[in-house]
A and B are shown apart, each in its own frame.
Chain A
Amino acid sequence: MPPLAIVDTRKVYDWVLSIYVPIAIGVFALFTVLIVGAVLVYRRRERPSRRHEANRLEGSYVVLLTLVASFLLYITFTALHQDNLIVASARASSHERPAVTIDVTASRWEWTFTYPGHGITHRSGAVGQEPLVVPTNVPVRIELRSEDVIHSFWVPQLAFKHDAIPGSVQTLTLDFDRSGSFSGSCAEYCGLLHAYMVFTVEAMPLGRFDTWLRTGGTVSA
């Protein structure tokens, strides 16, 4: 099976963050030092200066700000271009088949994970704690639906979420790059038991996942 373009959302996120955070800390430190420093230096002085414009300096500063904005946008658009592959998979041609397709249906206040063709249905949320089982390092297609209000499918481990909106199917192609057990939740307020609308992701190597799938989910994950 030719692999579908696979996007490691966590990696993309970490990359953008690793550029944004130092810039933000630098800007914050710079202005805090300037403000506090100016206050300390000019405290209790008499005879204030009358200078109230520095248009050439301010003009160059605006150019600098624009360059910073352009740089950040370049980073963000580069990352966004990669992430777009996740949601845009409706356009993906038929030969780019994912390893597995899982129907994820959100409703008040539970998640239903169905593995079409395998007769497996897991539920998690206010009703129980059955996990979302996924294979690692292969594209996992998720068909996200909502039966009632807006919910949002969030796996912090992937640094990714997407809304489940009634009247639509949102198709996502996600990559789980390591085995283990992660938490997930509904990130859009959906009413009384919103806080209980949580789930666990069990990510396992493809071989074990296939066994799990073949046995109808009976072999323990």
Chain B
Amino acid sequence: MIAISTDHKRIALNMGLTALGFFILGGIFALFMRAQLTSPHGDLMSNQRYDELFTMHGSTMIYLFVTPMALALALYLVPLQIGARALSGSRVALAGFWIYLCGGLVMQSGWFANTGAGQAGWTSFYPLSNGTYSPGVGQDLWVLGVILAALGELLVAICITMTIARRRAPGMTVLRMPVFTWTSLVSVLMVVGAFPMLILAMLLLFIDRHGGHIYSGFTGTIDYQDLFWFFGHPVVYVMFFPYLGCAAEAVATNAHKRWFGYKAFVASMMTFSVLSMSVWGHHMFVTGGVTNGFFSFTSTLLLVPAGIEYFDLVGTLIGGAIRLRVSMLFGLTFFIQFLIGGLTGIFVASPVLDYNAYGSYFIVAHFHYTLFAGSVFGFFAGVYHWFPKMTGARLREGLGRVHYVLLFIGTNLTFMPMFVLGLDGMDRRVSRYSQHPGWAFLNRLETAGAGVIALAVAVFLLNVLVSLRRRELAGDDPWSGHTLEWATSSPPPPLNFERPLPPIRSYAPLLDLREEAEDRARERERGAASEARV
């Protein structure tokens, strides 16, 4: 019964496959939007349909794909990486997966409501989202769907946190946990800290919509945004860290070096997560309801921990024995493209620049560079890296390279012109735009780019299909991995490890073993040489 298995790997695969399904669904929504925007006065669909599409695109991607996929990766890999035989509270995690799945279905069922699916945006700002301005069951289903999805994700995150706290193998101290496990730990801690606020804000919104009048007047309007963004900014990092961990593990493994500057990296993760709980007001610079200086201060400071990651990346590469496998290509591109998202993030952390960028396509470009050009590339780095562990078969490198090149071209073609359009004055969330010179051309480029992205995803799915049908057996450790998941069979047995674990003396125990063997061999050579001289 794979649907009710309490094996963390099975739950994680179910959750990951569900999230992948929602990724494709959300991508289809985006394709429809891009088709509508091909010309300034596209008449492919009604305004309402467009509003439903961008609302559901954002909601599907954030609540139902990027966040749960990050948790699914952590759910699969963290117990393996810390040498645990099982997950703590695995039945809670199973319930969490099903609640999340139900949340997704409830949200999407809005498409069959006579008033249409949710159409108040993925943030559903008040009062637009209240009973007066967004009447109808579609918005109710959206609110309930968000509550359920967030609750399910919260339960899974709690189980991962408990597992890290209680089930580390002997010798696996906190400062020997692998890089991916650290990125997962800070993410699940942020989920535990921030998601209850979303659930609360949405419950209050639901009550409000049904006559409760919770959020009223100017302060109520600001309060909703405070509550929402108190969740909404930490979640940005939940949607980033585990993918950073994927990219870092892929880069370190393919450079055949352990991740550089581990302690500084861990410190930067913790700084990042603490800061990220105190920056939410930078989404509200133009409301006149927050202290812009404070949130600008905390947001700009984020460049310090972010900079450390880049230092560590370069340190890992220098002196490495680099192999440009597909996982490496995705991992490296994650860092370079995310840099564009990060640097423009520092721009909009300056209120003066945000006064122009807010609500425009500049913001759309910025967060797609972090979430798509960043996280999704990190996700694919992780997929190519761990697919052999999860299935026992490698993905094809050739198809993988095609997938990579198409995704790289499509991503930049789609999201780069948005920076220009935003600075030039194009609003986001519009189904029609004015005939400014150049706008139609840039929008056409973006639509073409979206098509290329769709093609890239199709190539990826084809690669998965081919690789599972005609299997190239991977063996336990195809890449000379560094961490404990490579010390068990592929896929791992139900209780993860049948052989005794290798000694754990650092965050890269398998690399330690190889280095020791190398040292011994070198010693023997030297010994033999000196004997010969004698």
Contacts and interface: CB of A to CB of B under 8 A. Distances in A.
Contacts of A194: 427, 429-430
B292 interface: yes
B170 interface: no
Contacts of A97: none
Contacts of B352: 12-13, 16, 76, 79-80, 83
B274 interface: no
A120 interface: no
Interface stretch (B93-101, B148-156, B293-301): B293-301
A187 B358 CA distance: 8
B359 A24 contact: no
Interface stretch (A45-53, A134-142, A208-216): A45-53
Given A45-B321, A152-B358, A53 B288 contact: no
A189 B128 contact: yes
A165 interface: yes
Given A24-B346, A31-B310, A188 B322 contact: no
Given A49-B257, A69-B304, A165 B320 contact: no
A3 interface: no
Interface in B301-344: 301, 303-304, 307-308, 310-311, 313-315, 317-324, 332, 335-336, 339-340, 343-344
Given A149-B133, A167-B218, A168-B218, A198 B264 contact: no
B336 A31 contact: yes
Contacts of B332: 35, 39
B350 A76 contact: yes
A111 interface: no
Given A31-B336, A42-B320, A45-B322, A13 B356 contact: yes
B: contact size bracket = 35 or more
B30 to A, nearest CB: 17
B431 A159 contact: no
B217 A52 contact: no
Contacts of B346: 20, 24, 72
Contact of B48 (A185, A188, A192): A192
A131 B300 CA distance: 38
A50 B218 contact: no
B515 interface: yes
B185 interface: no
Contact of A66 (B255, B304, B351, B436): B304
B51 A42 contact: no
Interface string A47-66: 11111111100100110011
Contacts of B436: 183
B263 interface: yes
Contacts of A168: 218, 288
A43 interface: yes
A153 to B, nearest CB: 9
A42 B322 contact: yes
Nearest to A25: B343
B300 A51 contact: no
A161 interface: yes
Contact of B350 (A20, A87, A188, A198): A20
Most buried by B among A39, A46, A54: A39
Nearest to B436: A183
B336 A165 contact: no
A42 B319 contact: yes
Contacts of A77: 293, 296
A44 interface: yes
Contact of B314 (A24, A31, A170, A191): A31
A221 B394 CA distance: 70
B127 A149 contact: yes
Contact of B311 (A58, A87, A156): A58
Given A48-B255, A183-B425, A166 B218 contact: yes
B121 interface: yes
B116 to A, nearest CB: 11
A112 interface: no
A67 B289 CA distance: 30
Given A38-B314, A58-B311, A161-B355, A185 B255 contact: no
B114 interface: no
Given A42-B320, A194-B429, A73 B288 contact: no
Contacts of B262: 52-53
Interface string B268-298: 0000000000000000001111001100110
Contacts of B358: 152, 161, 187
Nearest to B121: A189
B125 interface: yes
B133 A34 contact: no
Interface string A17-44: 1001000100110011011001100111
Interface string B96-140: 000000000000000000000000110001011000011000000
A85 interface: no
B47 interface: yes
Most buried by B among A53, A68, A185, A194: A194
Contact of A52 (B216, B260, B349): B260
A22 to B, nearest CB: 12
Given A49-B257, A149-B133, A159-B356, 20 more contacts: A24-B344, A42-B319, A45-B320, A54-B315, A55-B264, A61-B308, A62-B264, A62-B308, A65-B303, A76-B351, A80-B293, A80-B352, A150-B221, A162-B288, A163-B287, A165-B218, A167-B217, A188-B359, A191-B51, A194-B429
17 contacts: A9-B355, A16-B353, A20-B346, A20-B353, A31-B314, A31-B335, A35-B313, A43-B324, A44-B321, A45-B322, A52-B260, A76-B300, A80-B351, A149-B125, A166-B221, A186-B427, A187-B360
Which 10 A-B pairs give the minimum distances between C-beta atoms? A49-B319, A156-B425, A187-B359, A38-B317, A195-B430, A167-B218, A167-B217, A168-B218, A159-B356, A189-B429
Interface of B: 47-48, 51, 120-121, 125, 127-128, 133-134, 216-222, 255-264, 286-289, 292-293, 296-297, 300-301, 303-304, 307-308, 310-311, 313-315, 317-324, 332, 335-336, 339-340, 343-344, 346-347, 349-353, 355-356, 358-360, 424-425, 427-434, 436, 515
